[in-house]
Amino acid sequence: MSDASHTPIRKNPIAALFLDHPATVDETYLQHMRFAFGFAFWLGAAAMAALFHAFIPAMCETTASRILKRLHARIEARH
């Protein structure tokens, strides 16, 4: 008897690299790629805001923290 919530073990190592993890969050490879690219973009934006803030403290005072809170909420909503 198999557990329906468990992702099946694939014998194909290529499938294991590209398909197993996206399946754990009910996404296809391309859906997962889109989510990850979007997440990476906003992480980069937060990093740049923090860098600007480091040099000029009056700039981007809350930008990085607002972006990170929004990203955290997106991750929590997936699980």
Tens digits of residue pLDDT in 31-58: 999 999 999 999 999 999 999 999 999 9
Residue 56 belongs to some domain of the structure: yes
Question: What is the predicted pLDDT for the residue at 13?
Answer: 87
What total of structural domains would you count in the chain?
1
Asked whether the predicted pLDDT for residue 1 surpasses 80, the reply is no
Residue 8 belongs to some domain of the structure: no
Do the beta carbons of residue 49 and residue 63 sit within 8 Å? Answer: yes
pTM, entire model: 0.76
Do the beta carbons of residue 7 and residue 23 sit within 8 Å? Answer: yes
Do the beta carbons of residue 53 and residue 61 sit within 8 Å? Answer: yes
Q: How many CB atoms lie within 10 A of CB 60?
A: 20
Residue 7 belongs to some domain of the structure: no
Of 4-13, 20-29, 33-42, the least confident:
4-13
Asked whether the predicted pLDDT for residue 29 surpasses 90, the reply is yes
Asked whether the predicted pLDDT for residue 2 surpasses 70, the reply is no
Asked whether the predicted pLDDT for residue 69 surpasses 60, the reply is yes
Residue 1 belongs to some domain of the structure: no
Residue 69 belongs to some domain of the structure: yes
